[in-house]
A and B are shown apart, each in its own frame.
Chain A
Amino acid sequence: MPSWNADLPRMLIIQLARLGDLLQSLPVLSSLREKYPESFFDLLCPFPLESLGECIPGIHQIIPWNGEDWHVLAREWEDTFLQSFPHAVEYFSRFPSIPYSLVYNLNNHPRSILAAHLLGTRVVGAGDQGPLNTNCSPWVEYLRQVAYERGPNRIHLADAFCGICGVKPPRVLPGIQSKDIQLAADLTRVMEDSSTSKIGIVLGAGDNDRRVPVSTWCRLIEASAEHLPNSMCVLIGGAGEREAALALEDKLSPHYHSRLLNCVGRTTLPELVHIFNHCQWVVGSDTGPLHLGVACGARAIGWYFSRARVHETGPYGVGHYVWQHQGNGQSGNCREQLFNHHPENPCTWPINETIELMQGQGSSGGLSGWELWTGHRDDWGMFYLNEEKLDVAIAERKNIWERLSDMPFKQHSALKSHSINTGCSA
């Protein structure tokens, strides 16, 4: 990457939410780079995601935001008042390029808004009207409305981030590649074995209500072993899921142990990127690692239930699948209802149907309580179709884009509106 000099514009993108949101921000990073090829982009992301940020192409510098430092400063202030103030001032001396001429803020959270105004002279996105102004730009307001009212929205979160930043969805989707990773020997052996197809199984989830039962994963692994010759299931998860992984291994018939590689709690984020770079498929609920798998080139089969909705946070790219559960966490329920009433979780799981998709047979369908959705892209971004049927809401996206954006829109030459392409995205 060329080095930056003071004559070149340097911009900052703020994404302080969780892993999944950072990965949903990859399209807007791509679009911004397409629109401003001369500019340099830095990324402000949570401290624990710094190492992942370094794998994202096109980012000049990753700036980690350590919330714990700010907790300490706030506590110090409570203890010693003025003595902590210089420490808060010093915190920003770590940022080499402030003030940025332009900051793109993707989080409608007071901390992100304040960070945006502390770091930049002009803010685009949440807080663009001022740090205390609750008026939002049309796109931010739209996202807020969707978050509270849900409704029949078909604009994908990643595309809404593009709208917030005043750019169109990207022509080319960015991929994440690992660099110079040395895995443990047992992991390396499996990853380098080109005779097996690897299926990433995302064991855990940040929220309890998005967790798939361990017994269900066992059945999927057994079915994979039975029906997908030369497949190897790679169990993915953080340190907090070690117990669940051990329980799974315990529950799994010893007959299938040779078809399972347990990576749970053993990998850093860059190592996980490396593993996903070698996976053909990734299966899981709507979680950060599922989207990481997608960004690393694996094809996703999402199991979306509880509050997860395919149209908002489905895996970004053409050809991914989502099994959407039809519980009470779905369309038409406002946020208040959702949080007051615990969503109904599935009783049955699309295990055989998922195997059929991986076999390339399509799905025979007919699983009660679940719908299969397939990912597509056009000028207005990502959308999902059930049984390849277009509906009004998909067409409505164009109007929403035009209503919320003040930019002139032209179709990408490479993408036709509403074209359906079932090939896998990069």
Chain B
Amino acid sequence: MTIFQKNIELLRRQDAELAAKILKASGGTLSIHPAKSGVPTAVVKNRAIHSAYDPIREGELWANHQTENCQPGEILVVLGVGLLYHVEAMCSKLAQGSVIIVIVPDLSELADVFSVRSLEGWGDRICWVWGNPEQMALQVAQQASRFRLLTYEPALLIHPKEYDAFRSQLRDQLAEGVHGRLHIMVIGPIYGGSLPIAGYVVRALEALGHRVSWVDHSLHDPGYQHLNTIRDARLRLTVQQRFSDMLGVISLAHVAEDPPDFVLAMSQSPLSMAVLEQMRRKKVMTAMWFVENFRHLTYWQQMISGYDFWFVMQQGACLDAFKNAGASHVSYLPLAADPTIHQSVTLTSEEREELGSDVSFLGAGYHNRRELLPELLRDEWTFKLWGNEWEQAGRLQTVLQRNGERIDTPTSVKIFNGTSVNVNLHSYTSEGFDPNGDSVNPRTFELASCGAFQVIDQRTLLPELFDDSMMSVMRTPEELVSVVRKYLHEPEQRQSMAENSRKRVVMSHTYLHRMQTLLSIVGLASPDRIGGILRGDRQAESLLARSRDYPELASLLESFPKTDRVELVDLAKVIRQKGPEAKLNRDELLILMMDEYRQEKRDFV
């Protein structure tokens, strides 16, 4: 009997259907060679999947490293098949009875393994999950409430899209099952484009049922702006930096006062590396949603190791750049809209008079806009230009509204609603359209959410967010006038497309969706802490079920409503409420003692 036949026999006892499929699989995904140590190793497209010298030792090192963070009771889900040396090593490290799930996106790859590696003695401990990404994610979500994803990166590269899709599906599955309540601290910038986004994020997180503390540094904006009166540029920059550093320390004080489970900083928030290091020392998990073009604003490079999680609005080169710079977790998270703010509104006749027009553009005066928008100065339609940073606007001065003042959100919603054709040109510091233009700006989502029609310049990431039935996409700057003219004469088409885009936002592109995705990514990467809370592990009901060995503790937990999240501070509060005459048992005294140390903040800032 060959190794392959023995392995198939073993597998048949676990999963007869899979065994039958492996028998039919073609194999040949892995190119197999002997390693220096004599055991087989594998190569795919000239990339080594295992060590060319000693794959067994390599697998052991991987397993040692991975198990450092594993918690008892977790089910381990391994991504990356290869020749399974790493899985075998993991089996030998874990106690009998622990479950290891291996995700199999390609049966041909598994057939290759079965041909050269004996699974005898450890293969029967593996639960094989196979199928398309959606099916696999569903199986994992159904089988395991507490699991930890372990990735064997070299083998992940064989089927990167399938694994990405699996992770994405799994996140969605988990997001649906979230019922725990986190305490999230959102730290905003002093000013700038990410400031309103911070507000939308706060609303979304609250709407999802989490407790949110918003550290709103825009309160300090007048003081910060006043520093512009310092004439010496170097001196001004130094003082501004000190000012910003102090706001970082203030953020730290807020964290100390009411420790969150998770800090979400928006781009431009004034958190220095020293502040982030202190948060890490205090075990506060941090994330940054970097809603900037990574090519233009590059301060992320200095901050990369400061955050546990990075969320960016660009893919491809951006994700690679962050990973190469040392980001431990970086994920794509596009912008969105808040339909409770960005919505259809009816303008009064006075508002329509001021804010309405055939064609409008709202945004800052970047170079490409200054070059292109004068094309819209025509007698055949009314054109209004809104927004700031339009000094020396030239011919555009005649259509610049409100003397180029900054337009607030409620007004911008009215402008979007009062305009027949909204022009949405992404910013670019040169002429025409940005040839590397990938990310989609917030205005795209906001216009769509308002049910307002827009013509937009082409962006590589746009098609996966909106399609051609939702907005008119210009491939070249030369199309601008003709597209505007076309749609100005097709009101029904405009309305239909705008309504499609609005529905798409409501279905997939609200800040609620983004925060669900963000939290499920963090929860997946931190299954014991954030993931546990999101699953409801900290709810009284769950805690009670796990506290049978401590009857005094259990009786305390019984005093909480079943779905309430219970932390040390809550237990301590209940104990203290027993009053001055109370005689406390050992467990109660221990809880109070730990709470005393939890409260200590003297070395926080």
Enumerate chain B interface residues (CB-CB to A < 8 A).
71-72, 259, 283, 528-529, 537-538, 543, 546-547, 549-550, 553, 567-568, 575-576, 578-584, 586-587, 589-590, 592-598, 600
Contacts and interface: CB of A to CB of B under 8 A. Distances in A.
B578 A132 contact: yes
Contact of A78 (B546, B587, B598): B598
Given A81-B543, A88-B593, A75 B283 contact: yes
B596 A114 contact: yes
A118 B580 contact: no
A80 B594 contact: no
Contacts of B547: 82
Contacts of A83: 71-72
A133 B580 CA distance: 4
Contacts of A133: 580-581
B580 A85 contact: no
Interface of A: 67, 70-71, 73-75, 77-86, 88-89, 110-111, 114-115, 117-118, 129-135
23 contacts: A70-B596, A70-B597, A73-B597, A74-B594, A74-B595, A78-B567, A82-B547, A83-B72, A86-B549, A88-B590, A89-B586, A89-B590, A111-B596, A111-B597, A115-B593, A118-B589, A130-B583, A131-B582, A131-B589, A131-B592, A132-B575, A132-B582, A135-B580
B105 to A, nearest CB: 33
Most interface-central of B543, B586, B589, B600 (chain A CB within 10 A): B589
Most interface-central of A84, A89, A130, A131 (chain B CB within 10 A): A131
A67 B549 CA distance: 26
B538 A81 contact: yes
Question: DSSP majority for the B interface?
Answer: loop
A75 B600 CA distance: 11
A115 B587 CA distance: 12
Nearest to A68: B597
Given A131-B584, A131-B592, A132-B576, A77 B568 contact: yes
A369 to B, nearest CB: 33
A115 B259 CA distance: 25
Contacts of B587: 85
Nearest to B595: A74
Contact of A117 (B579, B584, B595, B598): B584
Contact of A80 (B71, B575, B583, B586): B71
A70 B586 CA distance: 16
A134 B582 CA distance: 12
Contacts of B546: 82
B579 A132 contact: yes
Contacts of B580: 129-130, 132-135
Contacts of A111: 593, 596-597
A70 B593 contact: yes
Contacts of B543: 81-82
A114 B589 contact: yes
A80 B530 CA distance: 10
Contacts of B581: 130, 133
A110 B597 contact: no
B537 A81 contact: yes
Contacts of B549: 86
Contacts of B578: 132
Contacts of B567: 78
Nearest to A135: B580
Given A85-B553, A117-B589, A78 B600 contact: no
A339 B595 CA distance: 27
Nearest to B533: A81
A118 B586 contact: yes
Contacts of A130: 580-583
A85 B590 CA distance: 8
A133 B259 CA distance: 28
A79 B528 contact: yes
Contacts of B259: 78
A422 B52 CA distance: 85
B529 A79 contact: yes
Nearest to A129: B580
A114 B582 contact: no
A203 to B, nearest CB: 24
A107 to B, nearest CB: 12
A67 B528 contact: no
Contact of A71 (B582, B589, B597): B597
Nearest to A88: B590
A386 B587 CA distance: 52
Nearest to B576: A132
Nearest to B583: A130
Contacts of B575: 132
A45 B296 CA distance: 57
A74 B594 CA distance: 5
A74 B582 CA distance: 23
Contacts of A77: 568, 594, 598
A71 B528 contact: no
A199 B479 CA distance: 91
A84 B538 CA distance: 14
Contacts of B600: 71
Contacts of B283: 75, 78-79
Nearest to B567: A78
Given A78-B567, A82-B546, A82-B547, A73 B594 contact: yes
A159 B234 CA distance: 60
Nearest to A71: B597
Contacts of A134: 580
A266 to B, nearest CB: 26
A110 B71 contact: no
Contacts of A70: 593-594, 596-597
Most interface-central of A75, A81, A82 (chain B CB within 10 A): A81
A88 B568 CA distance: 13
A117 B575 CA distance: 15
A84 B587 CA distance: 12
Nearest to A117: B589
B126 to A, nearest CB: 27
B583 A114 contact: no
A63 to B, nearest CB: 15
Given A74-B598, A131-B584, A118 B593 contact: yes
A89 B590 CA distance: 8
A80 B546 CA distance: 12
A23 to B, nearest CB: 23
A336 B537 CA distance: 44
A60 B546 CA distance: 41
B145 to A, nearest CB: 16
A115 B590 CA distance: 9
Given A110-B596, A114-B592, A131-B582, 8 more contacts: A70-B597, A74-B568, A74-B598, A77-B568, A82-B546, A83-B71, A84-B594, A134-B580
Given A75-B283, A79-B528, A132-B579, A85 B537 contact: no
B188 to A, nearest CB: 25
A74 B597 contact: yes
A84 B576 CA distance: 21
Contacts of B538: 81
B72 to A, nearest CB: 8
A134 B595 CA distance: 18
A118 B550 CA distance: 16
Contacts of A80: 71, 528-529
Contacts of A67: 597
Contacts of A88: 590, 593-594
Give the 9 A-B CB pairs with smallest separation, nearest first.
A133-B580, A74-B598, A74-B597, A70-B597, A74-B594, A88-B590, A114-B593, A118-B589, A71-B597
A85 B259 CA distance: 20
Contacts of A118: 586, 589-590, 593
Most interface-central of B550, B553, B598 (chain A CB within 10 A): B598
Contacts of A74: 568, 594-595, 597-598
A67 B594 CA distance: 10
Nearest to B73: A83
A75 to B, nearest CB: 6
A284 to B, nearest CB: 25
